[in-house]
Amino acid sequence: MTMKRSRSIKGNRYTPDQDIESMSGAIGSLFKAPSPRKVLPVTLLFSVLGSLVIFYPLHDQYLNGFLILFLPALFASLATTPLAKSVGGTMYSRRSTLLATIVLFLMLIALSFGRLLVEVFDVSRIHVLTYAFAVILWARHLILLTLSHHSHRKIFFASANQTMMGILLVFLILPGWTNIDILLALLFCSSFLLGSMFYTIQMGGPMRQSFGASQLALTRAMMDHMTEGGKAGKGMLERFFGGFSEEMDVPIEIASFRRPGQDKPKILLVLPGVHPGPFGTLGASDLSTKLEGHLQDLADHIYVPHGTTGHDLNLARSSDCTKIAKWVRNALHGLEYSDQAGIAVRFDREAKVLAQVIGNGVFLTGTFSPKATDDIEASVGDWIYKTVELESELTPVVMDAHNSIIRGSGSVYWGTDKAKELFEVMTKGSRDAVASPRDRFKLGYSEVRKFSIEKHGIGPKGIQAMVFEVQGTLSAYLMFDGNNMTRGLRELIMSEITDLVDQAEVMTSDNHIVNAIIGGINPVGCKADRKKLATVSRKLIQQAIQDLEPMEASVTTGTIRRVKVFGHGSTVRMTTVINAGLATLLPSAATSISLSLAFSLLSGFVLDLLL
């Protein structure tokens, strides 16, 4: 699909839930490095500039300066990856090449200041060069502690190789040095290495005090998981989540739709009471794909909409997805099916609901669009569920369409005006749906999966469409495998399909796998062409209408025991701690580099006095 420039989701500050998504995406996007072939010309340029800065107008030393700067950078590009991997760290040639070039730019800045010292105080160029190489040791050590391995001892040689090679070349190539110069070089390096260690202690304080975990180890695991995917970093992150999570019993519902006379469902709708987060493939993220992997032998299609759950109900471990699948597998036995369904009805105020009786269930799909909201909290959904169940004597299937968001849009919490509005609209919609005519129904299905997370903000399940027909009236349920929608996209899609069906709703699955991009927050419509998404939606509805066939339905509900979820308030607490850690970054960096500078200069001054 054709791409347009990304659309921002403008609004207020991020909510705590959105903070986690944004930070995870931003961390994962660090060091998605270009190829070494693209970086090498920049390395050459910085080496030439650095040589000119420090040796001008000594023309006979330009080549020496170039070699002193370029060869260590080239050596570090080649040596850092195997050195890091030899101690169990994570590193790639792209990252090591980019890192060597970034710190070479820092050297260029340090050499520029050093040149002033050469001119004003007649400082030795040897001292300036060795000092600049010591400065980059500070930067390389911090970056590799984050990217590769959290042990100072194990990562030392991977951190120090560019500095060691550079200082060695200074003493091999440049004349006039003494043993004092070697001693000063060691003092400079020691000062900046100790400064980097101080910085990591300061930076990791909030996380260590609140969760007993290493900020560096967690950041590295998050980086690995977001950039490599799969199992990378997953074990450490899920163990961390498990450390503060709590076991709960969570509700679950399924709706099975099968052809008359057949046992295997055509469509199996699964609605577990867990939130499809936190991000990447951790916990319940990519829940629809995980459940499809477990249940694909049971039904032709697996349909996993978003229920009334918030981030406190994120699964702490992916393995609990198997508990969900096991419950579904057992629940399919002995279901009683009905071929009756009611005509779908809408009831729209500030909140809006599409309500329809299908089999023994009443399906309620709610939204506030075009007003922006995030999740509907579980307590609100439970209030609606119990009221509708009591009034209708049917099994409610309460779904959050999750289809309009801006930055800072909050969830629907118990006791708020939004919660009361949603309750009134959904219960009124339920009563209207129960009173609407019922008859035998047909169901058609279509899907398309030709999307990517980076380009379209849509997960592996793509877009799924279900269309019901009752007494000649059509109702459509269109679900995008993404995390919410940019404001107004739902209305654009609805306008595109309004002539095809009598009622419709556009939903997202709230799949948090799509947050593994720069910025983290990646709603449907933020990157992909909105008009093309509307066109694809229209085609899917048309295909689902062509697929209409007689169907039976059965809805059942139950409880999954002892599932580990984040627990009440954990997301806010974790966000607060991470923000506290981020707030110390600049002050700690300034303190660290200042102490390193002061200690190294003082050491040099004292050594000069003594000798």
pLDDT (0 to 100) of residue 483: 92
Looking at 200-204, 249-253, 493-497, which range is the least confident one?
A: 200-204
pLDDT band at residue 225, thresholds of 50, 70 and 90?
confident
State mean pLDDT over 94-123.
92
State mean pLDDT over 366-387.
95
Distances, alpha carbon 589 to alpha carbons 202, 534, 603, in Å: 9, 48, 21
pLDDT (0 to 100) of residue 607: 58
* Per-residue pLDDT tens digits for 507-545: 999 998 887 654 457 899 988 999 999 999 999 999 999
Q: What are the start-end ranges of the E strands in 335-437?
A: 340-342, 345-348, 352-358, 361-367, 395-400
- Partners of 420 in the β-ladder: none
d(CA 86, CA 158) in angstroms, rounded, equals 10
pLDDT band at residue 6, thresholds of 50, 70 and 90?
very low
State mean pLDDT over 492-510.
97
Helix (H, G, I), strand (E, B) or coil at 303: strand
Asked whether the whole model's pTM tops 0.85, one would answer no
Higher local confidence (pLDDT), 241 or 593 = 241
* Per-residue pLDDT tens digits for 415-467: 999 999 999 999 999 999 999 999 999 999 999 998 988 889 899 999 999 99
Looking at 11-15, 74-78, 151-155, 178-182, which range is the least confident one?
A: 11-15
Average pLDDT, the chain: 88
Higher local confidence (pLDDT), 245 or 461 = 461
pLDDT (0 to 100) of residue 221: 76
User: Beta strand pairing status for 340-342 and 301-303?
Assistant: unpaired
Phi, psi of 40 (to 5 degrees): -55, -45
Looking at 146-150, 255-259, 284-288, 586-590, which range is the least confident one?
A: 586-590
Which of 585, 603, 598, 604 lies closest to 195, judged by CA? 598
Higher local confidence (pLDDT), 341 or 279 = 341
Q: Where are the alpha helices (DSSP H) in 56-150?
A: 62-86, 93-121, 125-147
pLDDT (0 to 100) of residue 468: 98
Structure tokens at 211: 């969760």
- 29 pLDDT above the threshold of 50: no
d(CA 426, CA 421) in angstroms, rounded, equals 9
d(CA 595, CA 13) in angstroms, rounded, equals 35
